[in-house]
Amino acid sequence: MNKRELELYIHIPFCARKCAYCDFLSFAAPERVYRDYMDKLMEEICGQGPNFQEYRVSTIFVGGGTPSLLPADLIMELFATLHENFDISLDAEITMEANPGTLTMEKLEVYRQSGVNRLSIGLQSADDKELKYLGRIHSYDSFLKSYQRARQAGFQNINIDLMSALPGQDVHSWKNTLKKVMMLRPEHISAYSLIIEEGTLFYERFGEPQGSCACGAQTAAEVAARAAVMTLPDLPDEDTDREMYHLTREMMAAHGYERYEISNYAKKGYECRHNTGYWTGVEYLGLGLGASSYTYGYRYHNTEDLQEYLSLNLYEGGAAARDIEELTLEDKMEEFMFVGLRMMKGVSGSEFLDRFGQNMWNVYGDALKKLEKQGLIEVEAPVVRLTELGIDVSNVVLSEFLLDR
């Protein structure tokens, strides 16, 4: 029986402390809440499994939050429940996100026993001062110890997350971070530029209007964190940000890392299959608080209210879903272009025709001709991809593929 491909995303919302730049659905919580949440998550897994019997799971990504905060026994139970309720491919890529300082040998051994074959470690910077500015709880030294433990535990596929354009950061500091990380020879490196998101402490310092705050009641720790953020040095300017990006591309290439997506680099054969699935239209099921899904032609997400999530009867399946939206043909074509052009291989007109029954040039011909003339895309029929200039202004380029309704 040929089964359809499905990716699973498992959301663990807990973190030791909320970082000043983070707008993800994550928060600190007492350890006693971990068990209640994981029991409900496993209930949801049991409820959803019967809805996806015609699918085979190709990738699993456990993200957060900080999944590596959880005790080892809860992780073991989680994966046992997943295997009992979903058909998981024998060669599935299974990723666990982890923060430095939370990885013990016991946890790493349990991950391996549970089938985890890829770690994604959030370093962000090799400069302790920059880590402090971000509100991270680790140092570069604690990251090194976590990385070494992961290697000792047998992990042969490790991603390291990095972030550029940080407060007070310059090109020299960023280059030093890249050098230190590439010396470790991880299989994959994600290098994103900091984005200032509304609702974060960084937005209060760097967003518009600066210094605004509708904070409500705050703990002493929250007041101290806010005060610290308000004294941070300025962000690098846009030209420096782009210089950092191009330096990253050059250094990665010199050390054998292929840029396969705008912000992702990998040794040959170690591209992240889970994220590539997102960028190429593979269906995905999100499990856990606030997790997003795209299945059976519908996009939706789970409730983001922890107390509501914990109160639901999820054995019935799907009860946590909110904002259910059926994608139109136009939605699907737009998304094909938005996410596909982030990949260095670009988008294929042949695949567009196979998928949608329409010629890509009939649908997007005016936009494609305009962007090619401006030097923002290059066309090698049937493939269209961003140029380096197009990558620098990718948000502007991608906006050209919104269809009139």
The tally of domains found in the chain comes to 2
User: Does 184 lie in the same domain as 49?
Assistant: yes
- CB count within 10 Å of CB 365 equals 11
3-state secondary structure of 376: coil
| Per-residue pLDDT at 58 | 98
User: Does 110 lie in the same domain as 251?
Assistant: yes
| Per-residue pLDDT at 216 | 53
User: Does 255 lie in the same domain as 155?
Assistant: yes
Question: Which DSSP helix (H) or strand (E) runs through 266?
Answer: strand 264-266
CA–CA separation, 183 and 124 (whole Å)? 16
CB distance 29 to 70 below 8 Å: no
User: Does 35 lie in the same domain as 141?
Assistant: yes
**279, 310, 341 - which closes a domain:** 279
Q: Would you say residue 87 lies in a domain?
A: yes
Q: Would you say residue 305 lies in a domain?
A: no
User: Which two tokens mark 340?
Assistant: 């596909």
| Per-residue pLDDT at 405 | 60
User: Does 338 lie in the same domain as 265?
Assistant: no
Let me know how many helices (H) and strands (E) the chain has, helices first. Answer: 16, 15
CA–CA separation, 236 and 336 (whole Å)? 32
| Per-residue pLDDT at 211 | 46
Q: Would you say residue 229 lies in a domain?
A: no
- Name the E strands within 50-127: 55-64, 88-98, 118-124
Sign of the CA dihedral 43, 45, 47, 50?
negative
Q: Would you say residue 302 lies in a domain?
A: no
User: Does 150 lie in the same domain as 10?
Assistant: yes
Could you tell me the residue range of the domain that residue 390 belongs to?
Answer: 329-399
Looking at residue 382, which CATH number applies to its domain?
1.10.10.920
| Per-residue pLDDT at 192 | 97
| Per-residue pLDDT at 321 | 87
User: Does 370 lie in the same domain as 253?
Assistant: no
Binned average pLDDT, 10 residues per bin, the chain of 405 residues: 93 93 92 96 95 97 96 97 98 97 95 98 97 93 97 98 97 98 98 94 81 56 79 94 97 98 98 96 96 96 95 77 94 96 97 96 96 97 96 95 83
Q: Is the peptide bond before 50 cis (omega within 30 degrees of 0)?
A: no
Q: Would you say residue 173 lies in a domain?
A: yes
User: Does 128 lie in the same domain as 262?
Assistant: yes
Q: Would you say residue 311 lies in a domain?
A: no
Q: Would you say residue 299 lies in a domain?
A: no
User: Does 167 lie in the same domain as 269?
Assistant: yes
User: Which two tokens mark 198?
Assistant: 């509304």
Looking at residue 134, which CATH number applies to its domain?
3.80.30.20
